[in-house]
A and B are shown apart, each in its own frame.
Chain A
Amino acid sequence: MTELLPPDFLSALQKVLPERVVLRSADERRPYECDGLSGYKALPGVVVLPDCLEQVCLVMRLCQQYSVPVVARGAGTGLSGGATPHPEGVLLSMARFNRILSVDPVACTARVQPGVRNLAISEAVAERGLYYAPDPSSQIACTIGGNVAENAGGVHCLKYGLTVHNVLAAEVVLMGGEVIEIGSEAPDQPGYDLMAAFIGSEGMLGVVTEITVRLLPVPPTAKALMAAFGDVEQAASAVAAIIAAGIIPAGLEMMDTPAIIAAEDFVQAGYPRDAAAILLCELDGTDAEVQTEIESVSSLLFDCGARSVDIARDESERQRFWSGRKNAFPAVGRISPDYYCIDGTIPRRALGEVLLGISELAARAGLRVANVFHAGDGNLHPLILYDSGKPGEFERTEALGAEILQLCVRVGGTITGEHGVGLEKIDQMCVQFGKAELEQFHALKAVFDPEGLLNPGKAVPTLSRCAEFNAMHVHHGELPHPELPRF
């Protein structure tokens, strides 16, 4: 039973909430013990599945009153442990907030509940010729509430932006149960841009209960092409050449040989198995515009040394080109008992250096790595292949992942492009930020949640945690105590 929570709190919760929304037995709580980062597990103290705003407010009021932690959860597809439960807290599942409340075809917006799936929004407005642009690869399952918490991206964000560019307003329940509206459909609301603070805040500031998203017209034409390269550097230079020519593709993705072979074996997308890298490039817009750009991009790709350039002849071939990329993760899952997905972003000019660095680090760790890369915006997803059945291999994998992220920071990048910090990368935050920035983050958090009850222990490390971490690790390429001789 739920012995880790204050008994008074549980009885108060059960008094105010209907029985069906409170899950107390271990069997009922078990499905919530982890999110997409399944290496981190904890049985939540209690699970609450509210079905209306009032119930969310009651939970937040009682949790404040009894100082009980709250972890909000959408579909649990996150990859950084942002929704890993707290054993002494409430796991607040927003799954029942699953309605699209209204669509405004004039302003091109939709008001939705946070438990609505990302793809369901586009499906619901497709008949009006509209769609919701951010498309994380988990879009059939992930929820818009989780997207707001993580500032989710996707393959189209170079051209169409991230969640932060496509969400206009939200209703939020604060710790203690107060309800506020942040952001606005009218541009430039008075005061600070609280929407900017909330998006990507990993459930640390409040619980979102309604969201207004911006909808875009579906482009009349989308065409994809695939280029094969004998050399990764050539593929990287082709990406730079396309952008230098003033073309912003709707999607621009790169895969290396191990990722190509895994995808090809899995879905037969037609990728050349002997290429060092392939580039997938999608162009959208009007027919004439896309036709012109396809021609420019093809010749740029050849100029940069592409061995071959294939233009998808029809919609089904376009889908086939993308199927390999979209299935890259499960494809890698077939060739290795386990894989671990890393999410660093780098300035693209450092790609060659970083890929070389990754292969050296991997060789030293005795592990294999496949790379998929949102090439247009520099977001790299190395997939480390490992076997959790072999003693010590997961630990080596985690250590390799941490080294890769530190390499990303060293070349001027970041430890997370779109998956969030969560529990997974909390130590790497100490590499990316100094004491003053971390203190500023904590002060910002305290504006909304002074007692630190929302998603405790995630996203921003305490200073003492960083002190410990930095004492043991290399920081900014320097060993601790550089004055000491080492052999």
Chain B
Amino acid sequence: MTEDADSAVAALQERVRKAAHDGEALAITGGGTKSFLGRVSRGTPCSVHAIQGVVHHEPTELVVTVRAGTRLAELESRLAQSGQMLPFEPPALGEGATIGGTIACGLSGPSRPYRGAARDFVLGVRCINGKGEILRFGGEVMKNVAGYDVSRLMAGAMGTLGILTEISLKVLPRPACSQTRAFEMPGEPASELMTSFLGRSLPISAAAYLDGVLRVRLSGSEAAVSPAAGALGGELEAEGDAFWSDLKEHCLDFFSHDSPLWRISLKPQNQLLRLPGKTLIDWGGAQYWVKSDAGFEALSERVMPYGGYITGFGGRDQGARSDVPQDAVMKLNRRLKAAFDPAGILNPGRLLPED
């Protein structure tokens, strides 16, 4: 396996070198489960599929190092055997999802406001930049300030700065106990209640509001969860875990609605943001999923006053209708891309519109 992976990395490096020389765009793919995300890109498909395997997992150090083409499900089941998990609950959005694609897309699941985002758990990477150089940043330790934090910069960069080949992540113990409390209530007080959790010492790991029901997940030791459930009140939801998993994987009925899906992220508000369309509030009020035919401009107008961002989540054409960095920051973004990929061959246009 190791030899296969090493030769696959060497072959990929050669492929990138040649493409850089020829100015040939490469469309980097893992499991292809998030190919609808981001802007319309172009290029010859270039897969990390052969770069497979968990390199190293040391449960007592809370660190796992894994090759980019490893399936997310395989990694998660390996961690589960040691009673551990990826704390940011990454959405797979399909069976073939790889850990490389997961980090490149930088998506985080329901636990994000309480445990952290994908980028927060990246400790180190090996990658191939647009010049075909194999680079290693960060490492397998929690604290490391040698050099710029390039590993974290790779999270959410959608492969446009480098092709990830190996990633080291901080992992955490799976909570011994988890339960979901449900509250039937209107949107306004639900928004207020969800936001108030940020300032309270409760073992909350998710909070979402859909169809008049606020659901709150408590996770931790039995000694932490039981008293917190009593303090919170609400009804015990029998199928709580299934709800969070379906939310994370976009399998709730809400997501099957015909209208395009938009993702809106915003600073936590203690008031309800009313949007045209059907709405699911996640991340304790910091993320709204919206099924709406209203279009990008109409939604943008509603979200702008709250300093929020819109991402098209419904399909290739819609991806191009996402917020992009403004002016001076966009200029830095473009120069950063050029610093890692001078020939502009790695997923061109996927994250930033091409010039």
Give A contacts to B, CB under 8 Å: 105-108, 128-130, 150-151, 153, 157-158, 161-162, 164-165, 178, 180-182, 184-194, 196-197, 199-201, 204, 215, 217-220, 239-241, 243-244, 246-248, 285-286, 288-289, 291-293, 345-349, 374, 377-379, 412-421, 425, 429, 432-433, 436-437, 440-441, 443-448, 459-460
A residues near B146, Cβ cutoff 8 Å? 414-416, 421, 425, 429, 432-433
B323, A190: Cβ atoms under 8 Å? yes
CB distance from B19 to the nearest CB of A (A): 18
Task: Determine the distance from Cα of A150 to Cα of B148 in the docked complex, in whole angstroms.
Answer: 10
- Tell me the chain B residues, 146-161 only, with Cβ under 8 Å from chain A: 146-150, 152-153, 155-157, 161
CB distance from A64 to the nearest CB of B (A): 15
A sample of 13 inter-chain contacts (CB < 8 A) reads A187-B265, A188-B108, A192-B153, A196-B149, A215-B199, A246-B83, A246-B174, A289-B203, A377-B141, A419-B145, A425-B146, A432-B146, A444-B336
- Tell me the chain B residues, 131-176 only, with Cβ under 8 Å from chain A: 133-137, 139-150, 152-153, 155-157, 161, 172-174, 176
Q: Is B322 an interface residue (CB 8 A)?
A: yes
A197, B153: Cβ atoms under 8 Å? yes
**Which one of B59, B198, B203, B306 has the highest number of Cβ atoms from chain A below 10 Å of its Cβ?**
B198
Given contacts A191-B329, A194-B332, contact A291 B223 (CB under 8 A): yes
Task: Determine the distance from Cα of A414 to Cα of B329 in the docked complex, in whole angstroms.
Answer: 31
Given contacts A189-B309, A417-B145, contact A412 B140 (CB under 8 A): yes
CB distance from B68 to the nearest CB of A (A): 18
> Which one of B150, B172, B265, B329 contacts A188 once the chains associate, using CB atoms below 8 Å?
B265
B residues near A247, Cβ cutoff 8 Å? 173
Given contacts A244-B60, A246-B83, A289-B220, contact A191 B324 (CB under 8 A): yes
CB distance from A303 to the nearest CB of B (A): 14
Contact with A along B223-261 (1 / 0, CB 8 A): 110111000000000000000000000000000000000
Given contacts A106-B195, A191-B324, A197-B149, contact A345 B224 (CB under 8 A): no
Q: Is B129 an interface residue (CB 8 A)?
A: yes
Task: Determine the distance from Cα of A420 to Cα of B148 in the docked complex, in whole angstroms.
Answer: 10
Size of the chain B interface, CB-CB below 8 angstroms:
87
Given contacts A188-B117, A189-B325, A220-B201, contact A345 B144 (CB under 8 A): yes
Task: Determine the distance from Cα of A162 to Cα of B141 in the docked complex, in whole angstroms.
Answer: 13
Q: Is B106 an interface residue (CB 8 A)?
A: yes
CB distance from A117 to the nearest CB of B (A): 21
Task: Determine the distance from Cα of A412 to Cα of B144 in the docked complex, in whole angstroms.
Answer: 12
Given contacts A413-B139, A414-B146, contact A193 B61 (CB under 8 A): no
A residues near B6, Cβ cutoff 8 Å? none
**Given A107-B268, A440-B129, 6 more pairs with CB closer than 8 A:** A188-B309, A199-B149, A286-B224, A345-B142, A378-B61, A437-B136
| Nearest-CB residue, chain A, relative to B134 | A436
CB distance from A409 to the nearest CB of B (A): 9
B residues near A418, Cβ cutoff 8 Å? 143, 145
Given contacts A107-B267, A191-B330, A414-B141, contact A219 B153 (CB under 8 A): no
**Which one of A153, A241, A418, A444 has the highest number of Cβ atoms from chain B below 10 Å of its Cβ?**
A444
Task: Determine the distance from Cα of A146 to Cα of B128 in the docked complex, in whole angstroms.
Answer: 32
A285, B201: Cβ atoms under 8 Å? yes
CB distance from A200 to the nearest CB of B (A): 5
A186, B176: Cβ atoms under 8 Å? no
A436, B133: Cβ atoms under 8 Å? yes
CB distance from B92 to the nearest CB of A (A): 18
| Nearest-CB residue, chain A, relative to B157 | A192
CB distance from A477 to the nearest CB of B (A): 17
Q: Is B286 an interface residue (CB 8 A)?
A: yes
Given contacts A292-B221, A446-B339, contact A200 B145 (CB under 8 A): yes
A residues near B352, Cβ cutoff 8 Å? 191
A residues near B62, Cβ cutoff 8 Å? 243
Task: Determine the distance from Cα of A446 to Cα of B340 in the docked complex, in whole angstroms.
Answer: 12
Give B contacts to A, CB under 8 Å: 58-63, 83, 106, 108, 112-113, 116-117, 119-120, 129, 133-137, 139-150, 152-153, 155-157, 161, 172-174, 176, 195, 198-201, 203, 220-224, 226-228, 265-270, 283, 286-287, 306-309, 311, 322-325, 328-330, 332-333, 335-337, 339-340, 351-352
CB distance from A167 to the nearest CB of B (A): 12
B residues near A436, Cβ cutoff 8 Å? 133-135
B198, A107: Cβ atoms under 8 Å? yes
B120, A107: Cβ atoms under 8 Å? no
| Nearest-CB residue, chain B, relative to A206 | B332
A residues near B199, Cβ cutoff 8 Å? 105, 108, 128-130, 215, 217
Given contacts A218-B201, A243-B60, contact A416 B116 (CB under 8 A): no
Task: Determine the distance from Cα of A192 to Cα of B339 in the docked complex, in whole angstroms.
Answer: 13
8 closest A-B pairs by beta carbon, nearest first, are A246-B173, A417-B143, A240-B60, A196-B152, A191-B325, A377-B142, A289-B224, A185-B267
B residues near A204, Cβ cutoff 8 Å? 148
A164, B152: Cβ atoms under 8 Å? yes
| Nearest-CB residue, chain A, relative to B342 | A443
B224, A158: Cβ atoms under 8 Å? no
| Nearest-CB residue, chain B, relative to A290 | B223
A residues near B129, Cβ cutoff 8 Å? 440
A192, B336: Cβ atoms under 8 Å? yes
B266, A186: Cβ atoms under 8 Å? yes
Task: Determine the distance from Cα of A415 to Cα of B139 in the docked complex, in whole angstroms.
Answer: 11
| Nearest-CB residue, chain A, relative to B195 | A106
A residues near B265, Cβ cutoff 8 Å? 186-188
A217, B333: Cβ atoms under 8 Å? no
Task: Determine the distance from Cα of A416 to Cα of B106 in the docked complex, in whole angstroms.
Answer: 27
> Which one of A374, A433, A437, A447 contacts B332 once the chains associate, using CB atoms below 8 Å?
A447
B307, A186: Cβ atoms under 8 Å? yes
B149, A200: Cβ atoms under 8 Å? yes
> Which one of B161, B198, B268, B270 contacts A192 once the chains associate, using CB atoms below 8 Å?
B161
A437, B147: Cβ atoms under 8 Å? yes
